[in-house]
Structure 1
Amino acid sequence: YKLYSLIGIIALSFFNFLFTLRTTNEITILIESSPSKIEELEKVPATEYLAHKINQAFLHHTVGMRCLYYSIPLFFWFFDTIVFVMVTVILTVGIAKFLDF
């Protein structure tokens, strides 16, 4: 189950990065398209829709990066459970202190 957890979190990271690329490509197409056409198809203002897509891309990128960050403690779990817990706590405090605030 340790190996499956590591494979699962790396796969989740991979798919989130794929969604980031997909959404970023969609954003580049939307920037070049007509705002009136976007508003006609999506029933929201074009700027609001584009902002939503940009936030969605950033969210997928953030989740993908955090999955990669948390694959490091999962790797240490193969050696010892205490090391896994310590690295997880250190990583969580580091992310909360330096990346979130």
Structure 2
Amino acid sequence: MATFQLLGLKCWETTDGFGADQVRIIFGFDDLMFFDNDMGEGDEWELVESRQFLASEKVWVKEADSGSGDDEIGMFVVTSEDQGEHGITLSGDGSHYDLRYRIGP
């Protein structure tokens, strides 16, 4: 068993819509919500959330839209072999976000 720990999220540019994004970070098959908050350009959140998983899990970062379907900012897969701290850039729907996370035992 491994642990996925979310460390931080930085918004450089919101999606193509107007104003702030309602950002949701969803972990794994069971759709466990990590984060659900407004983010505007320049906002940065330090996050200390973690979840355990077995071999691998998907992580989705989405922008919640009230009038239409959610926009996908990005998706990536974490594996138990990827021990250590990592960063990933997400740029779906015209956005630019940097997410930091750690995989541990």
TM-score with structure 2 setting the length: 0.24
> TM-score normalized by structure 1?
0.25
Q: Which has the larger radius of gyration?
A: 1
Q: Which has the higher strand share?
A: 2
